[in-house]
Structure 1
Amino acid sequence: MFFLFAIVVQAVETMSFRIGMRSIQFRNLPEQRILISQDCFKSGKLSCLAYSAVSKVSLKRFEGESYGGMNPGSIACSKSASGSVVIGIDSQRNERSFCEFKDGSLIDTGTLNYYARKNDSDR
């Protein structure tokens, strides 16, 4: 008798961004559409305020309000997730916005926008 075991390995890409004077490592989890700071991984699991925000973030109560063309992920960060928007710069000098939480964890504002819309459509 033969058994076939399939091991699913998620591709993990690491990225580095300079935020202020700090160089911060991030993990990109494309299957989950998450770009999150490396320090959120504890014992192989995600555990930080940035990751907790993914399941709670929403834009629903801000519909119809004008924010002058602001990035919806930035609105989700500051208004729904109680974070602060910061800008990271990679080695090619590309800029990306992140949401920083009180525990120092960071998540891409695009990730927050995606999950805010997903959460709102699921509720």
Structure 2
Amino acid sequence: MQFFTHPVYSSDNNKQEWFLGNKKFEFKFVQKYLIESRCIDHDCTSSNLIKKKNIKLDHEKAIGGTSPQSIICTKLPNSKVVILKDKEKNENSFCLFADGSMIDGNSLMNLID
């Protein structure tokens, strides 16, 4: 499976739309972190995570082609990796939390302590 990180932007350059089947999710950048728009002004796992910025990565687990984003996401409590598509069918990985909030997989890399 190939992943692309160049989604189609809406008219607002800070907003991105990603889809899981027919369900649309809107994301916005907060600093350098791409999180769901609904979490910007609300208490969500994804917005709380970017406030802490203290994720540890065991680099030994990244050997063998496993993506660091996947390792980080699955290390976090009650989370899993999901693949969303943009309007052009490009795919990107996101980390989905138990509260339904999501953060872009590449943004997780910026949270490594």
TM-score by length of 2: 0.76
2:72 corresponds to 1:71: no
Which residue of structure 2 lines up, in the alignment, with residue 24 of structure 1? 25
2:16 corresponds to 1:15: yes
Letter in 2 for 1:51: S
Letter in 2 for 1:33: K
- For the 8 Å contact 1:12–1:28, the answer to whether it is kept is no
Higher radius of gyration, 1 or 2: 1
Which of the pair has the greater relative contact order for Cα pairs under 8 Å at 6+ separation? 2
Q: Secondary structure at the match of 2:18?
A: strand
Q: How does 1:16-55 map to 2 (within 5 A)?
A: 16-29=17-30, 32-41=31-40, 45-54=41-50, 55=52
Larger helix share, 1 or 2 = 1
TM-score by length of 1: 0.70
- For the 8 Å contact 2:61–2:71, the answer to whether it is kept is no
Which residue of structure 2 lines up, in the alignment, with residue 112 of structure 1? 108
Letter in 2 for 1:73: Q
Aligned length: 100
Which residue of structure 2 lines up, in the alignment, with residue 103 of structure 1? 99
C-alpha RMSD over aligned residues = 2.1
- For the 8 Å contact 1:53–1:81, the answer to whether it is kept is no
Percent identical among aligned pairs is 32
Structure 1: runs of 5+ lacking an equivalent = 1-10
Structure 2: runs of 5+ lacking an equivalent = 1-11
- Kindly report structure 1 stretches of 4+ aligned residues shifted beyond 2 Å: 65-68
Which residue of structure 2 lines up, in the alignment, with residue 58 of structure 1? 56
Q: Distance in 1 between matches of 2:56 and 2:97?
A: 16
Q: Distance in 1 between matches of 2:23 and 2:63?
A: 29
**What CA deviation, in whole Å up to 9, does each residue of 1:48-105 have, x standing for no partner?**
101222324221xx22235531221111111135411001100111111000001100
